[in-house]
A and B are shown apart, each in its own frame.
Chain A
Amino acid sequence: MDDAIAVRDLVVDRGGRRVLDGISCRVPRGAVTGLLGPSGSGKTTFMRAVVGVQLVSGGTVTVLGQLAGTPALRHRVGYLTQAPSVYADLTVRENARYFAALYGRGRAEADRAISDVGLAEAAGQLVGTLSGGQRSRASLACALVGEPELVILDEPTVGQDPVLRADLWARFHAMAAAGTTLLVSSHVMDEAARCDQLLLIRQGRLIADDSPAAVRAAAGVDDLDEAFLRLIRAGEAAATSTDATAARETA
């Protein structure tokens, strides 16, 4: 198994609406893969399916060689939800130590995870008194504290100061260099350039699955934002002409 994640024909319906419509893709090990797409495109649902907490209507998701949601995977996969999910009535350190304990890790790992996200000075503070950005970093520390092989991060850098954002991306690449696989979602296209591999989804469909350089080459522009726009337009034009052909054939 070379791929950390292999997704085949994934279909998810939520509340009678098709949220993911037949997605197939692979996420390579030891790299940072960006999951890009506008708000509401299905990024979170895709990540939930990979973590194994999403009821799916069809298709398969294989994670680290096992079906998503297999109990053994819970030791090997770390998940950061989009809304910070940490205990507001505990300090940053108490939160990190609790999640460390769930993964069989100790205080040293908890302290390291806190300083890795730049919260060492706020470690003794109650999470409820932190700013929004700090709170989401506290949540990030709890996702990294178990030193998982695969890390799923749902918009980890939203609302962060630019310097911190650069630090976090450097941290993600250091983790990838050490063999960790990261799947990071974002709706900010300038973050796409920081990824080794890109998955672009829009309206529940996969539009691009390539490296940033290949995406630029395919679209014939340097700006990734513009490249994605061209890919989307090209996809829509193709769909329209197929529909037109199909309509002619039926007529």
Chain B
Amino acid sequence: MNARILAATTGRILRQLRHDRRTIALLVVVPAVLLTLVYFMYADQPTPPGQPTTFDRIALVMLGIFPFVIMFLVTSIAMLRERTSGTLERLLTTPLGKLDLLFGYGIAFGLAAAVQAAVAAAVAYWIFDLDTAGSIGLVLGIAVLDAVLGVALGLLCSAFARTEFQAVQFLPVVVIPQLLLCGLFVARDQMAGWLQALSDAFPLSYAIEALQEVGAHAEPTGRMWRDVGVVFGAVVLALVLAAATLRRRSG
């Protein structure tokens, strides 16, 4: 890796994003709109005494899921475009290192996700009175880590897609099972054993648990840090595997 090349690559990806105003608008506005929907869906639902409201429970988890899902999709398509446009092959003939490219995507889309998460959190906390025991800063930090997880998995999956159609199909394959089993729909400890085992193998489960820890405890817990560590490890693993799929020589 080379700091100058990494910075240039990150800047280049952000510049591409900047030229695409509509994507920026969608990135910023859509999560806020969806949170609004969720708020009104649960507005009249009774809350059992002593428990967080349904909106609080779901909105907190959604703050982690939006950046994960959206950055997974955006990255898959962006990387596929690098492959099909020939720019990837060209980049690999230049002094650029594979990790410069992968980390460039991670940092650029991580920054975009930070903006997105900040807007979504602002809406959730200040307009809809989201209540978490822990700090908003931790929620944002975990949301950005979730985005980077989405980027890393997107970079990896794009290696297995030849067309845009295939790339989009990786959403149901890679993302939706993680959403179903992350504990949002059924608590993880109430699932059948084999489902729990699957859930334990999915990085998103740890990302969501970390957010729930922040929701329930005023101070960061050991479990939260462990979860953050697991997600971070999954990011590194996915990036290393993605680097291995980038071949400078091909047939």
Give the B-binding residues of A (Cβ under 8 A). 14-15, 51-55, 69, 74-75, 77, 79, 81, 83-90, 94, 98-99, 101-104, 126, 142, 146
Contact = CB atoms under 8 A, between A and B. Distances in A.
A102 B96 contact: yes
A102 B5 contact: yes
Interface string B8-36: 11011001100110000000000000000
A98 B12 contact: yes
B8 A102 contact: yes
Given A89-B19, A102-B8, A81 B249 contact: no
30 contacts: A52-B93, A53-B89, A53-B248, A53-B249, A54-B249, A54-B250, A54-B251, A55-B249, A69-B248, A79-B93, A85-B86, A85-B89, A85-B90, A86-B87, A87-B16, A87-B87, A89-B19, A89-B20, A90-B15, A98-B8, A98-B12, A101-B4, A101-B5, A101-B8, A102-B91, A102-B94, A102-B95, A103-B95, A104-B4, A104-B95
Given A69-B249, A77-B93, A103-B95, 15 more contacts: A53-B93, A55-B250, A55-B251, A69-B248, A74-B93, A74-B95, A79-B90, A81-B90, A85-B85, A85-B90, A89-B16, A90-B12, A98-B11, A102-B95, A126-B19
Nearest to A142: B90
A71 to B, nearest CB: 8
Given A87-B12, A90-B12, A53 B250 contact: yes
B250 A90 contact: no
A54 B91 CA distance: 15
B99 interface: no
Interface residues of B, number: 25
Main secondary structure of the interface of A (DSSP, over half): loop
Contacts of B70: none
